[in-house]
Amino acid sequence: MAKIALTGDRPSGKLHLGHYVGSLLNRVQMQETHRLYIMIADVQALTDNFEHPEKIAESVFELSRDYLAIGIDPAKTTIFIQSQVPELTELMVYYLNFVTLARLERNPTVKTELAQKGLETSVPVGFLCYPVGQAADITAFKAELIPVGEDQLPLIEQSNEIVRRFNHTYNTDLLKEAQPLLSKASRLVGIDGKAKASKSLNNAIFLSDSPEDIRTKVFAMFTDPNHARVSDPGRVEENVVFTYLDAFYPDAEEIAALKAHYQRGGLGDTTIKDLLNTTLQTLLEPIRERRQTFARKALCDILQAGTHVARSAAQQTLEEVRRVMGLRYFD
């Protein structure tokens, strides 16, 4: 039997090239070898967008379009919406008893995100507790592998702590610990070279960007400020154009030769930006075209079918949890 893997995204923005090279390609490959669940985490997204639920609701469909456009096959992968599986919420309520407030406040990922969002002095309880919700998401499907970035490792560890305490309390081995599956690709830097690519920082190239937007963003990329003339030697370290060429250009030897040329002088920024623009246009054009083929009704059907499958699996786990806790009264 194939191992079970769970991954997902918050529907609060569009997917960009950082997602693509960091996790989306892994998911396309994993659906051939694993029982893969992809969760659209709308409940988690509401923890800091609760005043604008309409934004989250519309993003659910845009996110699902991105999944399908990059090659996720709903015949092989279960795509579901978190809020439509209420069993996850009940599991979370039970798990809240197995973690302390102090432990939640110490979670490094949560502390970092609170600082980024300016919520340190007024923390919504829903946001503080979302790692417990993630534990429910993971254990509901008995996921063994969680494809994540390094910044998410504390969340998996917290989930495993809850699993161990639950199993010890009820003398059971019902819940299973999950292992992280780190991407082989490093986190993609933003086009400004100052931080990771993200929607909030407005420094990312999105899978749905138009050809004009892609070209504009490529030619705005940070290179080497001291490379004022074509004849000047240039630095390839921290040069965003070469970082993106390393990630997306198929011929590594050709890029190595271009780097050497750039370093000794005689290669202009316009030339390498033209090459990157062509590379990204070739990559993103079929993805953008496939996005346009999925009508809203088709997306609804796919999400409804996936959510039905996910809910059946979560219901089974919830019944088993109730049984070991002694909460089944009407057998």
In this predicted structure, what is the pLDDT of residue 11?
85
In this predicted structure, what is the pLDDT of residue 125?
84
SS3 223: coil
Count of other CB atoms within 10 angstroms of residue 286:
11
Count of other CB atoms within 10 angstroms of residue 158:
21
Query: Dihedral, CA atoms, 280, 249, 149, 136, nearest 10 degrees?
Result: 60
Is there a contact between 49 and 13 (Cβ–Cβ < 8 Å)? no
- Sequence spans of domains, the chain: 4-188+295-325, 211-290
| Sequence letter at residue 94 | Y
In this predicted structure, what is the pLDDT of residue 193?
85
Place of tokens 């959510």: 307
Q: For residues 303 and 198, give the distance between their C-alpha atoms in angstroms, rounded to a whole number.
A: 26
182 strand-pairing partners: 148
SS3 77: strand
Q: For residues 50 and 52, give the distance between their C-alpha atoms in angstroms, rounded to a whole number.
A: 5
In this predicted structure, what is the pLDDT of residue 120?
64
In this predicted structure, what is the pLDDT of residue 260?
96
Using 70 as the pLDDT threshold, list the residues of the chain that sit under it: 1-2, 13, 119-120, 184-186, 200
SS3 9: strand
Global pTM reads: 0.87
Q: Which two tokens stand for residue 130?
A: 């979302």
CATH number among 3.40.720.10, 3.90.1150.10, 3.40.50.300, 3.40.50.620, domain 4-188+295-325:
3.40.50.620
SS3 264: helix
| Fold entry, domain 211-290 | Tyrosyl-Transfer RNA Synthetase (1.10.240)
In this predicted structure, what is the pLDDT of residue 122?
74
